[in-house]
Structure 1
Amino acid sequence: MSGGSSVLGDKIAMQQHHDDEQSRGAASAQPPPYTLLTPTPASPNPQPAGPASTSSSPAQTPTPTPRQTNEGLPNLNYSLYSPPSFQLSADRTTLTSQNASLSQDASALEAFLRSQATVPPKPQIHIKGSVNNNVQFDLHINLMGLLIPESPESKKDYLRLVSDGELAYRGGIQPELTPATGPGGLAKWCKRFVEDPAPEKTFVMTRVVANLDTTWLEGQLRGLILSTGFQGAVAVEFPVTHSKVVVQAPAKGSKRFKSLSGMWASLKSKTCRFEVVQSVWPFASEMPGVQGRQYVVKSEENWWREWKDAIRFAVATQKKGWITVEDKLEALMEGTQHVGSRPEWGEQYVYSSQESISKV
């Protein structure tokens, strides 16, 4: 146990240094997020999360599995997405736990939240086209790689605490303007949560994506789909999964809930809620149109040039599933035979992935 605590302590100290540097720069250099892909209010003056607690209480959070290199994937500690005692919601947006140590030990809670802030949410694009309620294509695209640069020094993510004067859940059953954050940062909010005598209480950290121009991307997608001759209904959405971490204090009678979703829905209306911290993952340093905008990985335009042919190929072949590098390869190897062809959309004919568009 002592060895695990030492490893965790080292990781938290490193993350604390990163968070504090990012947070100090956020107030002067980082604008409020242009596009928040989760329904969390932004503030024009984000406050730093504050230093890590110096309490000598041992952290009771599970020791993360050592990070392994996964070729072709962002360099992350993926074990943090499924910590012991936590359950992922059916829609894959929310991790929830009733681990008693996290609601009784402020140092353990802070350490856990800081570790969770080191991994991003999973932003996606979901595109669906249908004719007379008959789905013609249903596509998903993973954008998480656009938040994680190859060099750790280029990371722009940071912890953001609720600002004074910002309406938020600060320990009550409804949004309020008080109490203020004050000195102490994240450690102080964790202490308030642990010491709150409320029988039912939750502490929530939300992972958000900032400064991604979803409006421009949606316009490009709709124009591309129109170029295939498709005139049915098109839905373009930008869902974000793995975007919320909920620590719930164990309450008497909690066993009566049959499912995580039922428990969460029932408790939301009467639970004292602490929703004061965000893990912000910018796509770019500034909102679209601002001079000097810098990208964590690449611009929306560069991403579009790289993937538009694969997306068009997937639409034209009426794919249902994730668009991957394999679709890029198929578009390069087989796409020339589809140039100038326009499939006949509708119920009367449905392509299989093996059929050539040129047959129509």
Structure 2
Amino acid sequence: MGKPSKQSPLGGSGDAMSLHSNVPAYRDRSVSPAGAPGSSSNFRGASHGLNDDDDIPRLDADDDDLPPMYTDVAESNALLAPYQTPAPAVDDPSTTFPIFSMNASNSSEIYIDPRLDASPELLERHIIARAQAPPRLAVQVKGTHREMVEEHGKKERRSVIDFDVSIDLTPYLYHDVATRQSWSELDTVDNLEKAKRGTVFARRSPVAVSGAFGLDAEKPSLREWVHRYCAGSSSGLKAFVLRRRVVGLDREYLRDRLIHLVRTTNYQGDVSVYFPYHGETVSVYNECRINHWRATRWIRVVCYVTLTFLLAWPYLFFRTKRFETVFATWHFSRPGSHANAKEYVSLSEEQLFGLWASAIHTAVLHKRQCLLDQQDLVNSQRAGPVTTGNAAVDTGVNFVMAGIRAMNEVNRQMGWGYDR
């Protein structure tokens, strides 16, 4: 999407529309991470030392840069439940339209409503309203190894998942979830940027292609783009797309630290770190029967089963004029006033890693496949035997926990996750 210029206080272009109030920033002393090994997102490493518990940051560490659980923020639900979006600030009927369909895998929204085709004002208000909901960005840590499996008399190697844990990063896009304070803005593509401007294929603006005049020409605003969409032919297929994105997050730093954290368990398999989005796009399709069919789940399933998608997909691709010109930018950080410094809307990458490292370490050793939540964060900091008040229950639970700890220690000593 468009690269923001430096004139805007948030790093966006001068005509970008701020979606939330600007708030005082947490200032980081330096943007340079220290002690992060390697840079590959998917590799097989040698075993590390077996006494690496000191590499796991603790919430109770005596370090001002690694705060505890942020009680004041927790009270305002800053650590949200998985994939729970804060409630809209204003319930305006003029901007509320029912979702026609939602993608089950990535939670992308599809709207089909004739009012959005006929009224640029309604479409503009709808886009602004949907831009106030953040993208659901997560960090996913996954470990796999390969095993030889015999099935129906044939042997083949298959990939086996050893662990797959994720953390929702969306709460850390807010300075205060209760008041919805964040660094976010709504902007449009630059003239020189390739994008689908009511076209099938991405292209630059015609004024930019025309010559030097295009360098100084003002780019179209959201209002102009919605007018272009509504003024287009109603007989064809068209879609207006809002894309949400997160900027200012040092993904490489987190990737390297998380891979190193997994290696401290003496894991020998393949480690991958991803940053998947949920709810990244909001698409508004014009009212017509074909768009109703393409957004209906059971019809799509029938197309896949009968292989008619081989004919339907090229038709829909070349027939649909797409307006992918508007995006909502959510800032995890922004350049600070001093050289080599950043301002963070909530936590820095180092603080974020320090907050969750112990919970991730525990989940990896227990070979979990889940989305970690606040309860996992609390449990990872508890030490000592379980005390429920019932002696029999305490004895049984502590016996099981002792066995699990013994197995984890054996894994750390001998290594685990080998190919078989």
User: TM over 0.5: same fold?
Assistant: yes
Matched, 1:220 2:246: no
Query: Considering only aligned residues, what root-mean-square deviation do their CA atoms show, in Å?
Result: 3.6
Structure 2, gaps ≥5 residues long = 19-75, 147-158, 208-216, 386-401
SS of match in other structure, 2:99: coil
Matched, 1:191 2:227: yes
Structure showing greater relative contact order (alpha-carbon pairs closer than 8 Å, 6 or more residues apart): 2
SS of match in other structure, 2:319: coil
Structure-1 separation of matches of 2:108 and 2:201: 20
The answer on whether the counterparts of 1:46 and 1:162 sit within 8 Å (CA) in structure 2 is no
1:148: Cα distance to partner? 1.1
Deviations 1:279-318 (A, max 9, x none): 000100139x963310011100011111101110000111
Q: How does 1:47-126 map to 2 (within 5 A)?
A: 48-49=15-16, 73=80, 75-77=86-88, 84-126=98-140
Matched, 1:131 2:145: yes
Amino acid in structure 2 at the alignment position of 1:161: T
- Which residue of 170, 184, 199 maps to 1:144? 170
The answer on whether the counterparts of 1:228 and 1:342 sit within 8 Å (CA) in structure 2 is no
Q: How does 1:214-253 map to 2 (within 5 A)?
A: 214-253=251-290
Matched, 1:267 2:344: no
The answer on whether the counterparts of 2:244 and 2:280 sit within 8 Å (CA) in structure 1 is yes
Structure 1, gaps ≥5 residues long = 1-23, 32-44, 52-68, 349-360
Q: Which shifted more, 144-153 or 160-169?
A: 144-153
The answer on whether the counterparts of 1:130 and 1:233 sit within 8 Å (CA) in structure 2 is yes
Structure-1 separation of matches of 2:325 and 2:192: 12
Structure-2 separation of matches of 1:295 and 1:328: 22
Matched, 1:163 2:143: no
1:128: Cα distance to partner? 1.2
Structure-2 separation of matches of 1:303 and 1:327: 15
The answer on whether the counterparts of 1:147 and 1:296 sit within 8 Å (CA) in structure 2 is yes
Structure-2-length-normalised TM-score:
0.62
Aligned residue number for residue 61 of structure 1: none
Deviations 1:310-330 (A, max 9, x none): 110000111110112222222
Q: Which of structures 1 and 2 has the bigger CA Rg?
A: 2
SS of match in other structure, 1:28: coil
SS of match in other structure, 1:274: strand
Cα distance change of structure 1 residues 87 and 27 upon mapping to structure 2, 3 Å threshold: farther
Count of aligned positions? 295
Q: How does 1:312-323 map to 2 (within 5 A)?
A: 312-323=361-372
- Which residue of 203, 206, 217 maps to 1:176? 203
Cα distance change of structure 1 residues 100 and 179 upon mapping to structure 2, 3 Å threshold: farther
Structure-1 separation of matches of 2:369 and 2:198: 43
Aligned residue number for residue 21 of structure 2: none
Cα distance change of structure 1 residues 87 and 275 upon mapping to structure 2, 3 Å threshold: same
- Which residue of 334, 346, 349 maps to 1:297? 346
Amino acid in structure 1 at the alignment position of 2:169: L
The answer on whether the counterparts of 2:135 and 2:170 sit within 8 Å (CA) in structure 1 is yes
The answer on whether the counterparts of 1:167 and 1:176 sit within 8 Å (CA) in structure 2 is yes
The answer on whether the counterparts of 2:332 and 2:344 sit within 8 Å (CA) in structure 1 is yes
Q: Calculate percent identity across the aligned residue pairs.
A: 25
- Which residue of 185, 195, 204 maps to 2:241? 204
